[in-house]
Amino acid sequence: MVEIKKDSLEKALSKKSDEKPKMSREQEVAFHQGALNTLINERNEFFKIIQNVEAVMQAHIKRLEELGVKIQVRKNE
């Protein structure tokens, strides 16, 4: 997992690295909450995509086994 550096977020919000962000505390809180809500929704959609891909893969594996093809499952390296 990638480490998130809080200082980098502060610098991204300001023009110079030594300046404070030019938004009120409430605006900044709302900004970060909105970003997190968006990222949570994106993560949930990504999980749905992974589930769909897995279901299609399982259907192909099942059919290959019905056709007599032996499937070897590789472990992730």
Residue showing tokens 């938004």:
23
Assigned token pair, 5: 């550096």
How far apart CA 47 and CA 32 sit, in angstroms, is: 22
16 φ, ψ to 5°?
-115, 150
Q: Per mean pLDDT, which range of 21-25, 26-30, 54-58, 61-65 is the poorest?
A: 21-25
36 and 42 in contact (C-beta within 8 Å)? no
- Say what the pTM is: 0.58
Q: What pLDDT score was predicted for residue 12?
A: 72
pLDDT in tens, 10-27: 777 665 655 565 889 999
Q: What pLDDT score was predicted for residue 62?
A: 95
